[in-house]
Structures are given as structure tokens and as C-alpha cells.
A = this chain, B = another copy of it.
Amino acid sequence: MRKSDKNKDAESQILDAAKNIFQKKGMDGARMQEIADEAGINKALLHYYFRSKKLLFEAVFTNAFSLLAPQLNKILNDDSSIEEKVKNFTFNQISFIIKHPYLPNFIIQELNRNPEFFDTIKEHPSFPSLEKFKTQVQKEIQQGILKPIDGEQLFIHIVSLNLFPFIANPLLKGFLQKDDAQYKQLIENRKTEVSEFIIRSIKN
């Protein structure tokens, strides 16, 4: 354990340790003892602050979602053009995930394991809504700015292109035969590559 962490109060220290372990190993792979060790405290203290493994996990999960969701809202709820949105969104999202590379995989994986989990986050204040984005796409199509495309499909395209390279990191790294540094560079390039690719396809 690092000394600078010793000052932090126990609860946030547990959350921090739990985040690391859960995001790397998932709910089933994580061990309470391992989290306690990472936090530098006794295992019983985990249960003192968070009654059970399940509750500790849920705390970490909603915490992680609270980081990701506002990122999504950026593209959906500002007033710039679709082109601007795509550009800023891909750049910002890829930059953000570079700093939190385990986040998308963690959320997606645990949502697959337990889909009812979505009900928990549906109530989240910054839960994204697609309505504005969809109507804006339609409007720009009518104005002749964009070629015809379904807003929902476009949304899926964008998120897929942004997140998949992180989720499939080991797979793609293997296929492309890149080492960590090379793959990092490849992703770095995608900050602009992806939006250019999208814009080229949808802009008139």
C-alpha cells in the first residue's frame, strides 16, 4: 500500500481498492480478501462499511457508470451541429477512456452477467436520452446537410467505433500483432480517424 493513501478515510480507500479489483477480475473473479489487502485493511472492515460483496460491487458499479454516462450526454445534449458533435464526442470519449481503459469492459461485462442491473442505473440523474440527437439528425438530413441515415444506427456506429478497440484490446492487439506501445498509438490515431471516417460517410 502506498503511504499517501493512508490518510484517506477507510471508505473511499475501500471503494478505490474494490474498483481496481472488480474492474480487473469482475464480480465473480474478485475476492474480498484481495480487496482488503489492496486497501490495506482487515477483511471484516469491508463488511462493516458495505454489508456484502454484492453491495460493495453495486457501489463500485454505479460509481463507474456515473463516470461514463456524462460522456455520452455530451454528444446528445449540446447545441452544436452533428458534425461538430461527432468530432468532439469521439475525440473526448476516446481521450477519456484512455485514462480509464477498464471502464467500458467492466460495465458491459457485468451488465451482460446481470441485465437487471440496468434498472439500477436507469434512475441515474445523468442517464442519457437519445431523443434530441435523433430529431437533430433528421433535421440535418432534411436540410441537406447529411445523407439519409437512421439516428439510432448512427449512434450505435459511433459508440461501437469508439469503445470496441478498448473492449477487444487483447484480441485486436493479437490479430494486428502490435505490442502495447504500438496499439496505444493506433488508438491515439483513432481520436481523429474515427470522426473523419464517420463524417465522410454521412456528410453531403
Contact = CB atoms under 8 A, between A and B. Distances in A.
A130 B193 contact: no
A87 to B, nearest CB: 15
Interface residues of A, number: 53
Looking at A72, A109, A168, A201, the one whose CB has the most chain B CB atoms below 10 A away is: A168
A190 B147 CA distance: 17
Interface in A38-95: 72
Nearest to A198: B201
A152 interface: yes
B108 A197 contact: no
B26 A174 contact: no
A159 B172 contact: yes
A111 B165 contact: no
A197 to B, nearest CB: 5
A189 interface: yes
A109 B28 CA distance: 13
A138 interface: no
Interface stretch (A2-10, A13-21, A112-120): A112-120
